[in-house]
Structure 1
């Protein structure tokens, strides 16, 4: 097996020695269903096959269903971009997934989340001084990811702010990004280069 040249801070998944377990298969080795699933990704808003869709290509029908769910949660949800991107960063940090962190920390910052907030999250600390949507997203996400539910006060605040549809979609978004993070962690799908990203990787 050839030596892996992936930079250590772009690796994810805990097994050693580290290697990417499910890279993109050669086109000639793909089934018709795999080629169709890959082409659908290329033709859609993602414009390519990367990240969780590399391992998911091993199950083309599952890939299609996961991709369609992700497209709605990312591009069609009633939640504002700032809420979606900050929640995605929280899920990525919780699941120890550098790929989603590299992808979404810059997007969260572009959507208005302060760099200091993201850097505290990156280091595993609770960001201080949060208010408004950012505080509510962190509270809701933290309760769901760590306690597998949501307290009455936090639920009431979330429904008052985003409605029942928004609460359902925020819950699903957190679950979706934990799901794809786990898939990549098991497959050892490396993060893309952090060049140009707003924040460095988080410590593993």
Structure 2
């Protein structure tokens, strides 16, 4: 397993080590308390990551949490493909929380350490990497960098996964872009 290297990795995590600037509310009203309890009693078992700043808007927190739960716990993507894609997005957006949270999950799901080390350093992917992971890297990277995917990449995604899985993968990228941006602004610390 790769050690937690977020503070020294290249490309860096600009917010690593900086004080959080948009944490959860100091005191919770009834709606915020109910939203927090829903997270604590759900599959996440706590209020952390993007849900710290989202606690300021309980109805938004609940909607975002539901989308994330659907993608992570009720989705149809292979675990390695899902966790790999999350790691790609977190590195593309230099998000310390999602990288540190999903790196061990990706390894546990079978993503090769050499591939994770390559995206951590911004290096070429290993030549023997599974074809679906190579394609997911192309889809996620193009989408984050260019805000769209090329016709060639899109055709390859449809050929490999079909429409339903392609939609799920694109939604996964979009969801994690959203929460990474929120946490980057909030300076949400990595998991403790």
TM (norm. structure 1) is 0.83
Please state whether the residue corresponding to 1:181 is helix, strand or coil: helix
Q: Is the 8 A contact 1:13 1:188 kept in 2?
A: no
- Gapped runs of 5+ residues in structure 2? 1-5
Q: Is the 8 A contact 2:24 2:54 kept in 1?
A: no
Give the Å deviation of 1:12. Answer: 5.5
Question: Where in structure 2 are the equivalents of 1:40-189 lying within 5 Å?
Answer: 40-129=38-127, 130-189=129-188
Runs of 4+, deviation exceeding 3 Å? 10-15
CA RMSD of aligned residues (A): 2.1
Query: 2: CA distance between counterparts of 1:131 and 1:82?
Result: 10
Query: 2: CA distance between counterparts of 1:158 and 1:95?
Result: 22
Query: 1: CA distance between counterparts of 2:124 and 2:55?
Result: 36
Give the Å deviation of 1:128. Answer: 2.8
- Report what 1:18 is aligned to: 18
- Aligned counterpart in structure 2 of residue 30 of structure 1, from 28, 31, 36: 28
The size of the alignment, in residue pairs, is 183
Give the Å deviation of 1:45. Answer: 0.4
Give the Å deviation of 1:13. Answer: 5.1
Give the Å deviation of 1:14. Answer: 5.0
Q: Is the 8 A contact 1:12 1:185 kept in 2?
A: no
TM (norm. structure 2) is 0.88
Query: 1: CA distance between counterparts of 2:141 and 2:13?
Result: 22
